[in-house]
Amino acid sequence: MTASIETRTFHDQPALVLRTPGGAQAVVSLFGAQVLSWTPAGGSEWLYLSPQARHDGSTAIRGGIPVCFPQFATLGKLPKHGLVRTRPWSLGEQRSGDDFALVTLTTSEDDASYAAWPQRFSAEVTVIIENERLGVEFEVENTGHASFAFTAALHTYLRVREVENARLEGLHGHEYRDAADNDRIKRDSGEALVVEAETDRVYHDVQRPLLLRDGWRSLGINVEGFPDVVVWNPWEQRCAQLPDMPANGFRHMLCVEAAAARRRIELDAGEQWYGRQTLIAL
């Protein structure tokens, strides 16, 4: 028995369902090339998808793993989080074997993106699942004749039982920009990050793996290519201002994002760049 990839409709949007013989499953929406669900073999759901998320194509889907490009957050003049999370992507490649399933989705510039950001590019998102592992790789190629620069992120919403009881380990000693405190630069001095208020931090130059402890289960988080890690939770007041989040939604999610936010990535004509985030259920 081998892994399978099935095309189906998920919340009225075309999606791909990846399954392994061991019982792992992921759902990838063609809208935004966004992973919306991931359950490792023998485990429970690890991605948070808001029950009030909009799936009609009018706005980005709240939850899962949105792709931010060519701008992260409001670090520039483009719409928040860029241009590609609110557009349909095309299926490029799909493969499966005895213990894995893989899909690649692609997009490139069009008239609308070029009007907002006059650059020629192609982008790929590759999603692979194994029994206990989810890997998401984001690749960008400069297909134009001049260099360009961008910021980017895999904006991963992790599902937790109660965010105040979750512990994120591995950021001790790292410098971060605290967007919840007037962008002050600080240094993390705790053994673990525990969210007890609005949290919006960009950690710089994180090269070690992270560990999220959520009650009896744990998640390893490995990043390649992305130099920064963003940790975000809107907490009660800001969550109430989000129309596509329930009032208590902040209690059950924690964003731990692979990002290039502190410095823009420079890409010459014809060059490629990629970054990857791997989640491992422990």
113 with 41: CB under 8 angstroms?
A: no
Q: Which residue has the tokens 């007890």?
A: 196
What pLDDT score was predicted for residue 225?
98
Spatial distance between the Cα atoms of 158 and 152, rounded to a whole number of angstroms: 18
Spatial distance between the Cα atoms of 37 and 44, rounded to a whole number of angstroms: 10
- For residues 129-147, give the mean pLDDT: 98
DSSP the chain: ---EEEEEEETTEEEEEEE-TTS-EEEEETBTTEEEEEE-TTS---B-B-TT---SSSS--SBSB-EEBS--TTSSSSSTTBSSTTSB-EEEEEEE-SS-EEEEEEEE--HHHHHHS---EEEEEEEEE-SSEEEEEEEEEE-SSS-EEEEEEE--EEE-S-GGG-EEES-TT-EEEEGGGTTEEEE--SSEE---S-EEEEE-S--S-EEEEETTEEEEEEEES--EEEEEE-HHHHHHT-TTS-TTGGGGEEEEEEEEEEEEEEE-TT-EEEEEEEEEE-
What pLDDT score was predicted for residue 2?
87
Q: In the chain, pLDDT over 90 holds for what percent of residues?
A: 98
Q: pLDDT class for 163, splitting at 50, 70, 90?
A: very high
What pLDDT score was predicted for residue 151?
98
Spatial distance between the Cα atoms of 58 and 62, rounded to a whole number of angstroms: 12
Judge whether residue 12 has pLDDT over 90: no
What pLDDT score was predicted for residue 1?
78
Q: pLDDT class for 150, splitting at 50, 70, 90?
A: very high
Q: Which two tokens stand for residue 133?
A: 């592992």
pLDDT in tens, 260-282: 999 999 999 999 999 999 999 99
Q: pLDDT class for 35, splitting at 50, 70, 90?
A: very high
Judge whether residue 55 has pLDDT over 90: yes
Torsion of CA 31, 33, 36, 37, to 10 degrees: 140
What are residue 102's DSSP bridge partners?
95, 128
Judge whether residue 32 has pLDDT over 90: yes
Spatial distance between the Cα atoms of 59 and 51, rounded to a whole number of angstroms: 15
Amino acid at position 11, single letter: H
- For residues 163-179, give the mean pLDDT: 98
Name the average pLDDT for the chain.
Answer: 97
Amino acid at position 37, single letter: S
Spatial distance between the Cα atoms of 130 and 253, rounded to a whole number of angstroms: 23
- For residues 38-64, give the mean pLDDT: 96
- For residues 169-190, give the mean pLDDT: 97
Query: Within 13 Å and on the Cβ side, how many CA atoms surround 216?
Result: 2
pLDDT in tens, 41-50: 999 999 999 9
Judge whether residue 218 has pLDDT over 90: yes
pLDDT in tens, 91-115: 999 999 999 999 999 999 999 999 9
169 with 213: CB under 8 angstroms?
A: yes
